[in-house]
């Protein structure tokens, strides 16, 4: 066999790459650090703790499950060279550290601090007689009637356990009504039961006193087994693979196939077992064997196995002094006449500092405007009771030609998207389910309006979803424009999605899977040429994650040529900065603060002719090569300068919420130097745009 010419490329050395899954897992330590920060309001610290727990659930459901799939099918390792078995072992080791830190934060820091602040989450050994009586009555009246305990014997094999559901394994002694000897029973908590129970003030004495459902079940489980002795009751939870696999080439109706897959999602392969710390080893062994899990996949928990459910306390407790101060997003002047406003010049929106209202108004006004002929929109995540969906329904009823490209495979939103897709179709909207084999992740809205004797296209594009809720919690950039070239490009992309157009060359947009990957490589290589020629050369980019190996190699080559590169990467990053002779000129930082950093912005110095793009795509293999994404330029110099200043330079100056990636893959939390002013990028934008 002839030698592989690429094997001699020093930039392919596995030592130059971090593992994507382990890097993503480490992001949750940075989230947890927010929960441990005494400068963060107390209930917000609780929220960050819960986010780190929910993120870890999703990590096992998706990322760890992907590694397990690679192991089962003997897939080749990633550019870091680690075999899947090694990655899986390191995942469990690192996740165990994270879980210990989470429960230490809860038990030793947040729970006591909340109690001192008058928000008590009461453990069983802290219930007084009155609280115990009330909880026992609550158990008998509200909980026990919906429970169906199952004794385990040859006639009753181990039941199916739903993904992330709360369960109690009970050890019994004695004989039941039929004379059967007790051994083990399983009590499954239906999803209909509240996981957090608030005690009445007249019973508990406190306005904000709560108890975990798991504690109530464990305390009164004996009531379900009269005449038998309960020797022990141990809560457990199993996390399963949640990645839906639908062979789109083989199905005739994607929506129907997806509905069928959703039915079984909760019972896919087990990935992790969480169980009470004091559960005896034989019972743990029984559960591991039932779920076909190795020893390292068990996590012994010092507290409730569903700790993330304490997030309900955040919503139930109305204590403004324990939360971030509220803010009012900046409103767009002239938003009540949005078409006239955009015709005068492009509109830039930086959420959540700028209100999401102009996007909603754009669709609402288009739905009612008699001059609007057609509306086309991509929908990836919209949330429940979406005003966007309402407006599209109204537009169709008003006789507009409305097309919605609905991505049914938006992870964990599949069921919601199927529901509103049905509603749109019933209203007469033409619903398109995207392209076989490629998720439609692009965020685009196109409105065709008659103005005098000609038609004008109005476009909104963004880095985030058409979801009013996340627009208040995520940082994202949106552009509303009537630029002719951009309008033509977006029209072409919608034609592709509906199956009516070839992959024609777009004038302004870069598009995955056709031109975005190549366009990024060309621009990185252009900076490399500028540096070698002695011209100004710099790259600044902000994204959620980075792992595409060709892009990483291009950045390494640019660094070797002298290009100064700053990357703001929130989550996983497989590039290693600061490697001598390879990435000396690359710096990578992660910002974790009040809002989830979600905007994707790419800036290239290009000597004295800089280019700035915003995009729906991260620099991941899936986004650049296996999805439909759009990357759009900010053409007006004033707006481009604003994006660079607010979304890039501002974040490079952050010395409060920034974590700097080290060459060994670890992160260092930055603190202001002795003579430096403290600077939080998000706080600065709140003060500037919402003040």
* Residue 691 pLDDT greater than 90, yes or no: no
pLDDT confidence tier of residue 403, bands split at 50, 70 and 90:
very high
Q: Is the pLDDT of residue 627 over 70?
A: yes
State yes or no: 411 annotated in a binding site. yes
Rounded to a whole number of angstroms, the distance between the first and last alpha carbons of the chain is 67
pLDDT at 176: 64
Q: CA neighbours within 13 Å on the CB side: how many for 349?
A: 30
Tokens at residue 218, please?
Answer: 């464990």
Q: Is 475 exposed, middle or buried (0-12, 13-18, 19+ CB in 10 A)?
A: buried
Strand order in the sheet with 270-276: 150-151, 184-188, 167-173, 229-240, 270-276, 298-301
| pLDDT the model gives residue 178 | 55
Q: What is the pLDDT of residue 227?
A: 85
Could you give the CA distance from residue 363 to residue 404 in angstroms, rounded to a whole number?
Answer: 12
Q: What is the distance between the alpha carbons of residues 567 and 69, in angstroms, rounded to a whole number?
A: 31
Whether 669 is catalytic: no
Alpha-carbon span 59 to 164, nearest angstrom: 13
Give the Cα separation of 545 and 528 in Å (integer): 22
pTM for the whole structure: 0.94
- Indicate which residue of 351, 441, 460, 517 is catalytic: 441
Annotated binding residue 319: no
Q: What is d(CA 256, CA 398) in angstroms, rounded to the nearest whole number?
A: 29
Mean pLDDT value across the chain: 93
Give the pLDDT confidence of 468-506 residue by residue, as tens digits.
Answer: 999 999 999 999 999 999 999 999 999 999 876 677 789
What single DSSP character describes residue 507? Answer: S
Segment among 99-113, 223-237, 364-378 with least mean pLDDT = 223-237
Residue of 631, 630, 634, 244 lying closest to 405 (CA atoms): 630
pLDDT given for residue 156 in this prediction: 66
What is the percent of the chain where pLDDT is above 70?
93
pLDDT, position 2: 47
Checking if the pLDDT of 419 tops 90, the result is no
HEC readout, 408-441: CCCCCCHHHHHHHHHHHHHCCCEEECCECCEEEC
Query: What integer pLDDT is reported at residue 139 of this predicted model?
Result: 97
> If you average pLDDT over residues 23-29, what whole number do you get?
98
Check pLDDT > 80 for residue 177: no
The pLDDT value given to residue 385: 85
Q: Residue range 668-691: average pLDDT?
A: 93
Instruction: Give the span between the Cα atoms of 405 and 544, in whole angstroms.
Output: 24
Binned at pLDDT 50, 70 and 90, residue 250 comes out as very low
Q: Is pLDDT at 119 greater than 90 in this prediction?
A: yes
Q: Which candidate, 504, 483, 418, 447, places its Cα nearest to that of 632?
A: 483
Q: What pLDDT is attached to residue 420?
A: 85
**234 assigned to a ligand binding site:** no
Q: Is 423 annotated as a binding residue?
A: no
Band of the pLDDT at 411, cuts 50, 70, 90? confident
Segment 22-34 shows an average pLDDT of: 98
* pLDDT per residue as tens digits for the range 336-394: 899 999 999 999 999 999 999 999 999 999 999 999 999 999 998 888 889 999 999 99
pLDDT band at 193 (very low <50, low <70, confident <90, very high): very high
Res. 1: pLDDT tops 60: no
Q: What share of the chain has pLDDT > 90, as a percent?
A: 83
pLDDT for res 5: 52
Cis bond upstream, residue 352 (ω within 30):
yes
DSSP collapsed to 3 states, 574-586: CECCCCCCCCCCE
Segment 150-155 mean pLDDT: 74
Is residue 532 part of an annotated ligand binding site?
A: no
pLDDT number for residue 251? 46
Question: In whole angstroms, how far apart are CA 598 and each of 336, 438, 682?
Answer: 28, 21, 12
Confidence of residue 527 (pLDDT cuts 50, 70, 90): very high
CA distance 437 to 441: 12
Separation between Cα atoms, residue 102 and residue 93, nearest integer Å: 15
- pLDDT tens-digit profile of 585-594? 999 999 999 9
Beta bridge partners of 235: 168
Contacts of 86 (CB under 8 A, 6+ apart): none
598 labeled binding residue? yes
């Amino acid at each position: 066999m002839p030698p592989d010419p690429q094997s001699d490329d020093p930039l392919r050395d596995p030592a130059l790459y971090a593992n994507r899954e382990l890097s993503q897992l480490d992001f949750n330590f940075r989230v947890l650090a927010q929960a441990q920060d005494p400068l963060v309001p107390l209930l917000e610290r609780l929220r960050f703790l819960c986010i780190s727990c929910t993120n870890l659930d999703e990590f096992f459901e998706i990322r760890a499950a992907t590694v397990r799939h690679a192991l089962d099918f003997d897939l080749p390792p990633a550019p870091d060279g680690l075999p899947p078995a090694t990655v899986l072992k390191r995942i469990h080791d690192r996740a165990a550290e994270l879980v210990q830190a989470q429960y230490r934060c809860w038990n030793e820091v947040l729970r006591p601090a909340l109690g001192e602040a008058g928000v008590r989450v009461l453990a069983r050994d802290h219930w007084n007689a009155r609280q115990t009586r009330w909880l026992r009555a609550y158990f008998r009246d509200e909980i026990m009637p919906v429970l169906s305990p199952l004794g385990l014997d040859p006639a009753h094999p181990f039941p199916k356990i739903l993904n992330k559901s709360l369960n109690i394994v009970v050890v019994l002694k004695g004989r039941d009504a039929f004379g059967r000897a007790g051994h083990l029973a399983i009590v499954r908590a239906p999803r209909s039961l509240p996981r957090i129970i608030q005690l009445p003030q007249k019973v508990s004495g406190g306005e904000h006193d709560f108890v975990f459902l798991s504690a109530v079940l464990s305390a009164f489980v004996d009531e379900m087994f009269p005449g038998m002795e309960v020797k022990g009751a141990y809560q457990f939870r199993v996390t399963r693979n949640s990645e839906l696999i639908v062979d789109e080439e083989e199905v005739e109706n994607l929506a129907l196939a997806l509905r069928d897959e959703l039915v079984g999602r909760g019972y896919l392969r087990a990935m992790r077992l969480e169980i009470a710390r004091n559960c005896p080893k034989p019972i743990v062994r029984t559960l591991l064997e039932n779920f076909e899990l190795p020893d390292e996949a068990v996590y012994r928990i010092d507290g409730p196995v569903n700790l993330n459910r304490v997030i309900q306390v955040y919503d139930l407790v109305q204590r403004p002094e324990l939360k971030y101060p509220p803010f009012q997003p900046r409103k767009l002047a002239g938003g009540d006449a949005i078409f006239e406003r955009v015709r005068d010049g492009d509109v830039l929106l930086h959420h959540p500092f700028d209100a999401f209202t102009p996007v909603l108004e754009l669709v609402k006004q288009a739905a009612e405007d008699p001059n609007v002929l057609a509306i086309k929109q991509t929908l990836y995540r919209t949330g429940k009771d979406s005003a966007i969906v309402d407006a599209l329904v109204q537009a169709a009823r008003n006789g507009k030609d409305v097309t919605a490209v609905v991505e049914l495979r938006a992870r964990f939103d599949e069921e919601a998207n199927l529901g509103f897709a049905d509603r749109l179709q019933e209203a007469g909207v033409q619903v398109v389910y995207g392209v076989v084999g490629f998720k439609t992740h692009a965020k685009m809205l196109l409105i065709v309006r008659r103005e005098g004797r000609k038609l004008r296209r109005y476009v909104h594009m963004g880095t985030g979803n058409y979801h009013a809720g996340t627009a208040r919690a995520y940082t994202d950039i949106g552009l509303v424009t009537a630029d002719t070239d951009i309008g033509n490009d977006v029209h072409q992309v919608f034609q592709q999605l509906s199956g009516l157009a070839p992959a024609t060359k777009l004038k302004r947009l870069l598009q995955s899977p056709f031109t975005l990957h190549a366009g990024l490589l060309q621009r990185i290589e252009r900076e490399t040429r500028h540096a070698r020629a002695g011209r100004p050369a710099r790259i600044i980019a902000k994204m959620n994650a980075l792992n595409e190996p060709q892009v990483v190699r291009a950045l390494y080559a640019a660094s070797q040529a002298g290009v100064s590169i700053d990357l703001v990467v929130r989550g996983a990053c497989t590039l290693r900065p600061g490697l001598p002779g390879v990435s000396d000129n690359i710096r990578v930082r992660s910002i974790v603060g009040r809002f989830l950093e979600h905007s994707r912005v790419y800036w290239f110095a290009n000597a004295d002719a800089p280019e700035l793009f915003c995009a729906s795509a991260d620099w991941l293999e899936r986004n650049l090569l296996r999805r439909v994404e759009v990357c759009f330029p900010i053409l007006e110099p004033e707006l481009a300068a604003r994006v660079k200043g607010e979304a890039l330079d501002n974040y490079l100056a952050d010395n409060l919420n920034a974590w700097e990636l080290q060459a060994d893959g670890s992160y260092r939390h930055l603190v202001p130097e002795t003579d430096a002013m403290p600077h939080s990028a998000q706080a600065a934008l709140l003060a500037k745009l919402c003040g």
